[in-house]
């Protein structure tokens, strides 16, 4: 079982739909990251959150530390939101330092 | 703020040659830089963690002598792929943090193709 699991793996929706992507993790964490990777490959950090909720434009991220679950929501989705969304959590590596462990990503396609 | 650049953005090289990829933090000092590789349709895999002025810490299975990492200053880390093979073809991404805040800022990535 992966330490960080995302669902769904793929999501296709019509422009304007409300989008939800989920992330569950199996260990205690200090913070959770939501990242966006466009087809060109570059990664943008969308949110880092350790409790509650954060909002940036049409993007909203929530986290429930007790349930070890986070969600990323996109309101009024647009074709330019099409990308892979990745959640990542810092875990302690075998060497004792913190390293990000990534979910497998959710490929989102918004159809005009 | 918090911009990380990588150079080159893409490179094609022949088998057996070495390739150097640079990662720079443009507007902040990065105490730690991370190097990842990503194969098509797969997630990022951490290769190594480097702290300025000290040796990099490599993840299990990553060859230290093949992937040389140098973190010479608080704004620059380099990854050199030595004696490149076609199976080294991948997308290499660096990230940097300022220390203590868990924030990581990612570079745009470098696509390496070894022929």
pLDDT of the residue at A94: 57
pLDDT of the residue at B97: 83
Q: A38 to chain B: nearest residue by CA?
A: B108
CB contact residues (below 8 A), chain B span 23-62, against chain A = 34, 38, 42-44, 46, 49, 57, 59-60
Q: Which residues of B touch A30 (CB under 8 A)?
A: 102
Measured in angstroms, the CA of A105 and the nearest CA of chain B are apart by 7
> Which among A10, A88, A99 is the top mutation candidate for probing chain B, defined by the most B β-carbons within 10 Å of its own β-carbon?
A99
Burial of A20 (0-12, 13-18, 19+ CB in 10 A): middle
pLDDT of the residue at A44: 87
Q: How many C-alpha atoms does A52 have within 13 Å on its Cβ side?
A: 3
Q: How far apart are CA A102 and CA A95, in angstroms?
A: 18
Would you give per-residue pLDDT tens digits along chain B (115 residues)?
678 999 999 999 999 999 999 999 998 888 889 999 998 888 889 999 988 878 899 999 999 999 999 988 889 999 999 999 999 999 999 999 876 666 778 899 999 999 9
B80 bridge partner residues: B20, B68
pLDDT of the residue at B102: 62
Whether A98 and chain B come into contact, CB under 8 Å, resolves to yes
Round the CA-based radius of gyration of chain B to a whole number and report it.
13
Nearest residue to B34 (alpha-carbon basis) of B82, B80, B73, B69:
B69
Counted across chains A and B, CB pairs separated by less than 8 A come out at 52
pLDDT of the residue at B41: 81
Q: How many C-alpha atoms does A96 have within 13 Å on its Cβ side?
A: 0
Whether A49 and chain B come into contact, CB under 8 Å, resolves to no
pLDDT of the residue at B105: 86
CB contact residues (below 8 A), chain A span 4-43, against chain B = 30-31, 33, 35, 40-43
pLDDT of the residue at A40: 78
Whether B92 and chain A come into contact, CB under 8 Å, resolves to no
Q: How far apart are CA B34 and CA B46, in angstroms?
A: 7
> Which among A42, A91, A92 is the top mutation candidate for probing chain B, defined by the most B β-carbons within 10 Å of its own β-carbon?
A42
pLDDT of the residue at A98: 66
Q: Which residues of B touch A44 (CB under 8 A)?
A: 106
pLDDT of the residue at B113: 96
Q: Are B28 and B98 in contact (CB under 8 A)?
A: yes
Mean pLDDT, chain A cut into blocks of 10 residues (112 residues total): 87 98 86 89 87 95 93 97 93 66 93 96
CB contact under 8 Å between A98 and B34, yes or no, is: no
pLDDT of the residue at A1: 58
């Amino acid at each position: 079982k992966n330490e960080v699991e995302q669902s769904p793996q793929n999501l296709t929706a019509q422009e304007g739909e409300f989008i939800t992507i989920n992330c569950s993790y199996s260990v205690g964490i200090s913070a959770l990251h939501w990242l966006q990777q466009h087809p060109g490959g570059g990664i943008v950090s969308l949110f880092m959150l350790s409790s509650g909720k954060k909002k940036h434009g049409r993007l909203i991220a929530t986290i429930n530390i007790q349930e070890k679950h986070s969600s990323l929501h996109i309101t009024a989705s647009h074709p330019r939101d099409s990308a892979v969304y990745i959640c990542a959590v810092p875990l302690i590596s075998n060497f004792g330092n913190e390293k990000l462990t990534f979910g497998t990503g959710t490929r989102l396609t918004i159809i005009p | 703020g918090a911009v990380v650049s990588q150079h080159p953005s893409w490179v094609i090289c022949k088998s057996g040659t070495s390739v150097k990829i640079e990662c720079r933090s443009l507007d902040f000092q990065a105490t730690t830089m991370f190097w990842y590789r990503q194969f098509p349709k797969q997630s990022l895999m951490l290769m190594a963690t480097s702290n300025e002025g000290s040796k990099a810490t490599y993840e299990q299975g990553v060859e230290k002598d093949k992937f040389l990492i140098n973190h010479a200053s608080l704004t620059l880390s380099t990854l050199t792929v030595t004696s490149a093979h076609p199976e080294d073809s991948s997308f290499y991404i660096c990230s940097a943090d300022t220390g203590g805040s868990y924030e990581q800022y990612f570079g745009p990535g470098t696509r390496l193709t070894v022929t």
